[in-house]
Amino acid sequence: MPPRELFFTIWHHAGLWVALVLFLLPLRRRTAPLWRTLPGAAVCVALRVLLRAPLTACGVPGVWGYFLVSFLLTAAVAALWADISPAAVFYCAVWAMTVYYIADSAALTLGHALSGLPPLLACLAPLALVAAFYLAVALTLARFMPVDHNYQIGPRQMTAAFLLLALVLMLVQLSRTYWYRENDWALWVFPLLIEVYCATLLYLQHELFKKSYIQQDLDLLNQLWARQKAQYALARRNIALINRKCHELKHQIRAMHAMFGEEKADYLDELEQSVRIYDAIAKTGNEVLDTVLTEKSLLCEAEHIQCHCVADGHLLDFMDPVDLYNIFANTLDNAIEHVRGIADPERRIIDVLVYAENKLLAIRISNPVSDMPRYGSDGLPVSTKPDDGVHGLGLRSVRHSVQKYGGFLTARVEDGCFHLRILLPVRA
């Protein structure tokens, strides 16, 4: 087989999988993706090679059948590798096929232009062009299009992507049937330009939908932030009322002790025990932290959960009260949700630490877990509650608040305990 023909044979069967890999690498992978994907990819490559000749020999319907087979096999490999939704799998396949056929057309066009040169040079020049094109795609489109290592694809975006891919494939089919049989340079370049134009439209519509998705996400976070603001104001009033009433009751009980002596001592002791909640009100040096810790401590007491806190509240004085309430309220709610399901009362424990470490402010909330949490594409645990549009936003809202102050959040499970750690730069 001549070198030029060998090159294009290898390219036709390998180029699509290389294009697919470019779009899979930035995405969240499944467990052991290589062991899962390699056998499936080998089967898909074999099927693509075996079906190419009989399908393309059937004329135009066979060519479109081959396009469909290639698309489905590409989507199958993407599903084996990436931990993404079915819509995102098909979207990756759309982009992989679009990029592959643009590179293929560019290689054929350049190979035609250099057909008068020595065979080795005529092969290496298109290969260098394709390699440069794939590198540019890997460093730009494939790298920056995903959001949190995933694609959020809706029906309208998917429909538009299918239509643009169909247009690219139609151009490919027409090029090979009519235009590539002519020696006119313009007839070779024209379909390539249209294919690039279709890819540009595909990218622009992706960015528009991506911007819309990010805006919707931000609107939800802002709504949650406003809700936390109102909840903080209510909690602050309630805790202040509890504080005042319990303080008054303690003095009244002491007066009643002096009045009745030992006559009703047992009754008064029981009454005094019931209002000792006043003594449990947190005093960390930060009013907002005291409010949220007291609020959640009352909930912990009702659920028979031990909540231990060691915190220097003065370290948090630079933070906006609503951001501070948002961080602790959401993280403690998640911890309580995990711990309340533990059967052993001795393991229903939540530890809260706030301290300075190496010029950083560290916040750590730990609690035992009975089951390993499932993590989403953003690296945060996925909510186990029904998805009503709000559940699952808590930790994302916390991370948003943390990032406002130049910090970062990590969540991991070690030795049967879930540890949520927040690091913030210490403000002078």
Q: What is the pLDDT of residues 371-428, one digit of tens each?
A: 777 766 566 776 665 544 444 567 888 888 898 888 989 888 888 889 999 999 876 5
Q: What is the dihedral of CA 47, 48, 53, 56, to 10 degrees?
A: 130
**Residue 350 binned pLDDT confidence (cut-offs 50, 70, 90):** very high
The dihedral through the CA atoms of 181, 182, 188, 190 has a sign that is negative
Please indicate whether residue 427 or residue 100 has the higher confidence score (pLDDT). 100
Res. 267 pLDDT band, cuts 50 70 90: low
Give the mean pLDDT of the chain: 79
- Model confidence at 325, pLDDT cuts 50, 70, 90, reads confident
Question: Looking at the predicted structure, is the pLDDT value of residue 173 above 90?
Answer: no
The pLDDT of residue 132: 92
Beta strands in 171-256 (DSSP E): none
When pLDDT is averaged across residues 135-148 and rounded to a whole number, the result is 89
Check residue 252 and give its pLDDT.
61
Judged by average pLDDT, the poorest of 123-132, 214-223, 267-276, 367-376 is 267-276
Position 242 pLDDT exceeds 70: no
Across the range 359-374, mean pLDDT stands at: 84
CB 81 within 8 A of CB 29: yes
Q: Left (φ > 0), alpha (ψ -120 to 50) or beta: where does 129 sit? A: alpha
pLDDT of residue 320: 86
Give the span between the Cα atoms of 21 and 81, in whole angstroms. Answer: 9
Positive/negative CA dihedral, 224, 225, 227, 231:
positive
pLDDT value of position 364: 93
Range in 9-13, 42-46, 146-150, 306-310 with the lowest mean pLDDT: 9-13
31-36: Cβ within 8 A, 24+ apart: 33/80, 33/81, 33/82, 36/80, 36/81
- Cα–Cα distance, 308 to 95 (Å, whole number): 51
Q: Percent of the chain scored above 90 by pLDDT?
A: 15
| 56-98 per-position pLDDT tens digit | 677 777 778 888 888 988 898 888 888 888 999 999 999 999 9
In this prediction, residue 388 carries a pLDDT of: 42
